């Protein structure tokens, strides 16, 4: 059978990325141009600045992706851009570029949900991984437990009622003075601390999450006790959010009888969270997590999800629009 090459295009937030992936699992190229240094001085992503920088970067990143993969547009089977969720102006840059490529080269356009992309990062890391499984989605914009029924069918079993987990990491980091992006900085500092500060957990009867209570508790503690040990605070925050995640995962396992857990999203790069999930293996649970460089936004994961959408028969027209709050 002829190889299927998908061209993934990702511009939903602050990474401009283009990738070529073979048969959904093999990366031929994955070029990522990050804007983190540009947004760092504002303490977070500034949407208008993100859009402008995507425009500046996209052609260069696209050319490099083809060059590195050593392919031309004639070799590409489908063009698979992220069309949501994300920042609307940022999404529109990648989506418009994808539409132009599709029209000019007469190649099918296949839209990809960014969250589906984060899940697919695992298909690249583990060639043998197949649905069904439970996915713990933990990114900067989304948090929840997803029942992945097959490659393109998902059921959200529980989601955050307020902040996404990455948002909580970033806000805590900003308040304690670590800067943006907060997740990796908390990860590093927490290693020097002890998780000896009690922080609140919000429980629900279903599989929903809440991270605003713990975030506010950390911020209040820091304001009331300016001399508090920051490393201990970070370690305690990390430990408590991990407990919140794992408690809900255990409920999801009971509910579905599935015992394969797959992590996804930027926060799955957190070393403490990774270790605590790996410890679940001792209980007979199968645990998968993306390669570190595929945890945060990249176009290879989008091209992988695009491959599965393509073989499931999805085709989009040029009227495909950016959907900032797209659901799975
Ligand atoms: O998945 P992602 O790249 O963007 C979205 O699609 O939302 O996730 C970005 C989030 C940010 O909140 C960042 O602080 C967090 O992932 N993150 C981490 C780590 N690396 C990135 N959080 C905790 N520990 C890390 N090592």
> Which residues in 155-187 are b (16+ Cβ under 10 Å) and which e?
ebbbbbebbbbbbbbbbbbbbbebebbbbbbbb
pTM here is: 0.96
What local confidence, expressed as pLDDT, does residue 40 receive? Answer: 86
What local confidence, expressed as pLDDT, does residue 187 receive? Answer: 97
46 and 13 in contact (C-beta within 8 Å)?
no
Mean pLDDT of 167-187: 92
Q: How confident is the model at residue 222 (pLDDT cuts 50, 70, 90)?
A: very high
Q: What is the mean pLDDT of the chain?
A: 96
The architecture CATH gives domain 5-118+295-311: 2-Layer Sandwich (3.30)
Structure tokens at 46: 């500034």
Distance set, CA 94 to CA 46, 55, 87, 103, 310 (Å) = 17, 8, 11, 14, 18
Report the C-alpha gap between 26 and 120 in whole angstroms: 12
DSSP code, position 1 = -
Pick the CATH number of 131-291 from 3.40.50.300, 2.30.40.10, 3.30.420.40, 3.40.50.150: 3.30.420.40
Domain residue spans of the chain: 5-118+295-311, 131-291
Which atom belonging to ligand 1 lies closest to the Cα atom of 165?
12
Residue 141 predicted with pLDDT over 90: no
Report the C-alpha gap between 40 and 323 in whole angstroms: 26
Per the DSSP assignment, residues forming a β-bridge with 22 are 5, 26
116 and 84 in contact (C-beta within 8 Å)?
no
Distance set, CA 184 to CA 157, 170, 205 (Å) = 28, 9, 31
Structure tokens at 73: 């547009």
> Which residue do the tokens 């899940």 mark?
119
Mean pLDDT of 254-273: 97
Residue 264 near ligand 1, beta carbon < 6 Å:
no
| 37 phi, psi to nearest 5 deg | -60, -30
* Residues 39-95 pLDDT 10s: 988 888 899 999 999 999 999 999 999 999 999 999 999 999 999 999 999 999 999
| 112 phi, psi to nearest 5 deg | -130, 135
Residue 213 near ligand 1, beta carbon < 6 Å:
no
Report the C-alpha gap between 229 and 270 in whole angstroms: 20
Report the C-alpha gap between 220 and 200 in whole angstroms: 12
Q: In what order do the strands lie in the sheet with 143-150?
A: 153-159, 143-150, 133-138, 260-264, 286-288
Domains 5-118+295-311 and 131-291 share a fold: yes
Distance 265 CA to ligand 1 centre (A): 7
Distance 266 CA to ligand 1 centre (A): 3
What local confidence, expressed as pLDDT, does residue 230 receive? Answer: 95
Which atom belonging to ligand 1 lies closest to the Cα atom of 173?
14
Task: State which of 33, 183, 242 you would mutate to test the pocket of ligand 1, scoring each by most atoms of that ligand within 8 A of its C-beta.
Answer: 183
At 262, is the secondary structure helix, strand, or coil?
A: strand
Report the C-alpha gap between 57 and 16 in whole angstroms: 7
Distance 4 CA to ligand 1 centre (A): 30
Mean pLDDT of 175-189: 92
């Amino acid at each position: 059978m002829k190889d299927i090459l998908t061209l993934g295009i990702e511009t939903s937030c602050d990474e401009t990325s283009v990738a070529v992936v073979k048969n959904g699992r093999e990366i031929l190229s994955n070029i990522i141009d990050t804007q983190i240094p540009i947004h760092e001085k504002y303490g977070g992503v500034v949407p208008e600045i993100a859009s402008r920088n995507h425009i500046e970067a996209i052609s260069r990143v696209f050319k490099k992706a083809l060059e590195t993969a050593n392919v031309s547009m004639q070799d590409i089977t489908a063009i698979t851009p992220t069309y949501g969720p994300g920042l609307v102006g940022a999404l529109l840059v990648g989506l418009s570029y994808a539409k132009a490529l599709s029209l000019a080269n007469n190649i099918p356009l296949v839209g990809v949900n960014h969250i589906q992309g984060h899940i697919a990062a695992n298909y690249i890391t583990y060639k043998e991984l197949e649905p069904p499984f439970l996915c713990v989605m933990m990114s900067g914009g989304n948090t929840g437990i997803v029942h992945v029924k097959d490659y393109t069918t998902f059921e959200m079993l529980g989601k955050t009622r307020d902040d996404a987990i990455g948002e909580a990491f970033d806000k805590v980091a900003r308040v304690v003075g670590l800067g943006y992006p907060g997740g990796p900085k908390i990860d590093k500092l927490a290693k020097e601390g002890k998780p000896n500060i009690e922080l609140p957990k919000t429980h629900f009867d279903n599989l929903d999450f809440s991270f605003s209570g713990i975030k506010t508790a950390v911020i209040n503690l820091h304001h009331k006790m300016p001399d508090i040990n920051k490393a201990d605070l970070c370690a305690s925050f990390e430990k408590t959010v991990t407990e919140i995640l794992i408690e809900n995962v255990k409920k999801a396992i009971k509910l579905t009888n599935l015992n394969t857990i797959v992590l996804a999203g930027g926060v799955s790069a957190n070393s403490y969270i990774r270790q605590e999930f790996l410890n679940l293996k001792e209980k007979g649970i199968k645990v998968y997590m993306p390669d570190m460089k595929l945890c945060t936004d990249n176009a290879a994961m989008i091209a992988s999800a695009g491959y599965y959408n393509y073989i499931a028969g999805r085709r989009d027209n040029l009227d495909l629009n950016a959907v900032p709050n797209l659901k799975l």
